[in-house]
Structure 1
Amino acid sequence: MRHGTFDEDDGRPTLRFEVDVAADAERLWAAVSDPAELAAWFPQALSYRPRVGGRIDFADDPLLPPTSGEVLAWDPPRRFAFTWGDDEELWFEVTDGGPSGARLGLTDRLALRDEAARNAAGWEICLDALAAHLDGDGHDGLHAEGARDRWRAHFAAYTATGMPAGAPVPGDDE
């Protein structure tokens, strides 16, 4: 587990992950900004206009409806941020100098506190897929057999730490 942290940022519930990867910053930037590379690890296919204020569209997740958002930050090769759906914001920050290459800072500014454990568990699965992609290893996909069980294990670990939970889980009977 990558030990995502939960906090309030200006009164808004926020998850943060810092992940060291075995790739240089240029390679990591491609993985977090190129739609073809994002398809290997991000929960939805996306297309966007690479500029602040540009539209970003999300599709092709069997558990989530298509949605759109707006690019909030576009500063290659270091920072990319956008809204995802109505109220969620994702921030990717790439820096040099992790122990084995580069470091990814992932910040998920949530719409609701109760989404924290659910989303943190989901990011664990996504970040595993990102690491496999950067290593050149195959990954079975975010919705492959066994992924749901891994998600549930991460979710249980996060709720055990007291991270807020209670939001509906896409794909579960609600």
Structure 2
Amino acid sequence: MDRGTFVDLDGRPAVRFERTYSHPPERVWSAITEPAELAHWFPATVSLEHRVGGTIEFTGDPNIDPGSGTVLEFDPPRRLAYTWGRDELHFRLEPTDDGGCTVTFFDVLEARDAAARNAAGWTVCLVELGKHVSGAVADGPHSATAEPWQPQYDDYVAAGMPAGAPIPGR
């Protein structure tokens, strides 16, 4: 499984992921911006204003309270960024030579010690995204068919990724 890496992004701690899909950027863009598609892989129900400065609402995540953020970048089908709590999520989509798409995703963290926790969660979510865009059944990261979170977390901690942030629900 592709692992996230702990990086410094403009002086802030972040977790970086890169995934390549055999679908064009427009297909993946839809999966990361449309509420009905986000429901298959994102950890919360999302309502997103498709413009810079717009509001993004997060509800339905069993591990955190509802909240909202601000859209920081909205450049279809290449760049999307928004705040979620004190974190920032950044998506960069680039076409591949074979008609697919490479997604580089950053979770810019409020706190360094959240790296392993968040990396484990996003690893689960990105597996669900891969299933969804490929047409397979993706019931979301909180479903019984999703990869389990705990082994992912344990692997990140064992690999030395910063850890220690509170784990919601525990």
Query: What's the TM-score once normalised by structure 1's chain length?
Result: 0.92
- The answer as to whether partners of 2:7 and 2:13 remain within 8 angstroms in 1 is yes
Deviation at 1:99, TM superposition (A): 6.5
- The answer as to whether partners of 1:21 and 1:100 remain within 8 angstroms in 2 is no
- The answer as to whether partners of 1:92 and 1:104 remain within 8 angstroms in 2 is yes
Q: CA RMSD in A?
A: 1.6
Deviation at 1:36, TM superposition (A): 1.5
Aligned equivalents of 1:167 and 1:32: distance in 2?
26
Residue-by-residue CA offset, 1:53-86 (whole Å, 9 max, x unaligned): 111110011111100010000111110100001x
1:31 is paired with a residue whose SS is helix
Aligned equivalents of 1:91 and 1:106: distance in 2?
6
Residue-by-residue CA offset, 1:110-155 (whole Å, 9 max, x unaligned): 00001000000001110010011011111243112365x7211111
Deviation at 1:39, TM superposition (A): 1.1
The corresponding residue for 1:120 is: 119
Unaligned runs of 5+ in 1: none
1:154 is paired with a residue whose SS is helix
Q: How does 1:15-164 map to 2 (within 5 A)?
A: 15-85=15-85, 87-97=86-96, 101-145=100-144, 147=146, 150-164=148-162
- The answer as to whether partners of 1:118 and 1:169 remain within 8 angstroms in 2 is yes
Kindly tell me the number of residue pairs found equivalent between the two proteins: 170
- Which consecutive segments of 4 or more residues in structure 1 shift more than 3 A? none
- The answer as to whether partners of 1:20 and 1:99 remain within 8 angstroms in 2 is no
Aligned equivalents of 1:16 and 1:98: distance in 2?
23
Aligned equivalents of 1:114 and 1:138: distance in 2?
33
